[in-house]
Amino acid sequence: MHDAPITASSDDRRPGSVWATAQAAPASQRKHRYTPESTAHPAKMLPAIAAHAIAHYTEPGDLVLDPMCGIGTTLVEALAAGRRALGVEYEPHWVQIARDNVALASENSSTHQGAVYSGDARQLLTLLPADCRGQVSLVVTSPPYGPSVHGQVITTPKKTVQKFHHRYGNTLDRANLANIGHHRLLAGFTRILTALRVLVKPGGHVVVTARPWREHSELIDLPSQVLACGRQAGLIPTERCVALLARATDTELIARGSFFQRDFIRKQREAGLPLHLIAHEDVLIFRAPST
């Protein structure tokens, strides 16, 4: 679905549309296509979001890149669609999971190969082969969401709830963009986007998914901040879309909020703050300059 218009604010008149990307549950979207170990990642992109972007902004055989690829969702969906795929991931554990998923995708349906490089995305131009420069048709990626991650829970025999797989890697690793303040995160992400200008071919697209989160009841408007990062990096904003995280019916949206989101909303409402479950992610689409 790519046809429902969004009314833009007075200072943001780029075209937009609604992507119905959660008609199937996340687990169903990944079933038999990703390794079981992939479930543990705390902030996975919905496969349907990556697949939608790949279908709309690339042609078969094009090169797709994700500089912060996590479990390799963008790469798997690119290979499934007959595209070539490259990824970079910082945490060694997820590098291996992404490589396993890419191998599985290659076995299942792809006529092309994918590769996952281990390292800091802020060093993209030294991590990736020089012959990639100016060859990437599409980037699909997402910055770390700060505390807004998915994770999993388990109920103990004493009826208490314990969280697990709800954090990124070693929290003491200050080189990990997920573990630093969001202002430093934005600076690092701008550096990544600047490198993408060199890698993306003229007129190619960069698609970034982001959502706001709250810290001490204050809204952190990450999508608008990412938009500013893209402009600073020299990319051209062309669209601002909505990727649904809820199932759309004829009359309503059926939220698919995680345990953490529902628990947070409940506690905030009890404290007097009338919050609602997040039902979408912002999708920011940039175009590389044509020269």
pLDDT tens digits, 87-100: 999 999 999 999 99
What pLDDT was estimated at residue 177? 77
pLDDT at residue 42, rounded to an integer: 82
What pLDDT band is residue 283 in, cutting at 50, 70 and 90?
very high
Residue 270 has a pLDDT of 87
Given pLDDT bands bounded at 50, 70 and 90, which one contains residue 7?
A: very low
121-169: pLDDT as tens digits: 999 999 999 999 999 999 999 998 654 444 444 555 655 545 444 455 5
Q: Which residue has the higher pLDDT, 57 or 168?
A: 57
| 3-state DSSP percent of the chain in helix, strand and coil, to 5 | 35, 25, 40
Per DSSP, 81 falls in state T
**Average model confidence (pLDDT) across the chain:** 85
Residue identified by tokens 């500013």 is 228
Q: How many CB atoms lie within 10 A of CB 170?
A: 11
The pair of structure tokens assigned to 145 is 């969401």
CA 94 from chain centre, in angstroms, equals: 15
Where is average pLDDT lowest: 11-15, 140-144, 247-251? 11-15
Out of 5-14, 97-106, 204-213, which region has the weakest mean confidence (pLDDT)? Answer: 5-14
Highest mean pLDDT among 61-75, 96-110, 255-269: 61-75
Q: Which of 68, 47, 53 is nearest to 122 (CA)?
A: 68
Q: Are strands 253-255 and 114-118 parallel, antiparallel or unpaired?
A: unpaired
- pLDDT at position 171 is 57
Is the pLDDT confidence value at 172 over 60? no
The model carries a pTM of: 0.84
Q: Which residues contact 83 (CB under 8 A, 6 or more apart)?
A: 54, 58, 60, 61, 62, 63, 64, 112, 137
Grade residue 192 by pLDDT with cuts at 50, 70 and 90.
Answer: very high
Cβ-in-10-Å burial (0-12, 13-18, 19+) of 167 comes to middle
Which domains are assigned to the chain?
Answer: 18-287 (3.40.50.150)
pLDDT, mean of residues 221-232: 95
pLDDT at site 6: 36
